[in-house]
Amino acid sequence: MKNLYLWSAMIMMILAAVAGDVLQAHAMKVIGDVGALRRSHGTLHVVRRVLTSGPFILGLFFMALAFFSLLFALSWGDVSFIGPASASLTLIANTFAARIFLKEDVNRRRWIAAILIAVGVVLLNH
Partner 1 sequence: MRLARFVGSILSFKRYLVLLAVAVFSAVGDCLLSRGMKEVGSISLSNWPQVFHAIVNPWIASGIVMLLAFFASYITSLSWADLTYVVPASGLGYILIALLAKYFLHEQVSIARWIGIGLIVLGVGFVAADPKVSTTERASELSEAQPAETRV
Binding positions for partner 1, rule: CB under 8 A: 21-22, 24-25, 28-29, 31-37, 50, 56, 91, 94-95, 98-99, 102-107, 109-110, 112-117, 119-126
Nearest distance, CB of residue 3 and partner 1, angstroms: 23
Please give the angle made by the CA atoms of 120, 123 and 126, to the nearest 5 degrees. 155
| Alpha-carbon distances, residue 31 vs 27, 59, 73 (angstroms) | 6, 15, 34
Least distance CB 106 / partner 1 (angstroms):
5
Residue closer to partner 1 (CB basis): 10 or 25: 25
Do 19 and 55 meet the contact criterion of CB atoms below 8 Å apart?
Answer: no
Say which DSSP state 40 is in.
H
CB of residue 81 vs partner 1: minimum separation in angstroms? Answer: 15
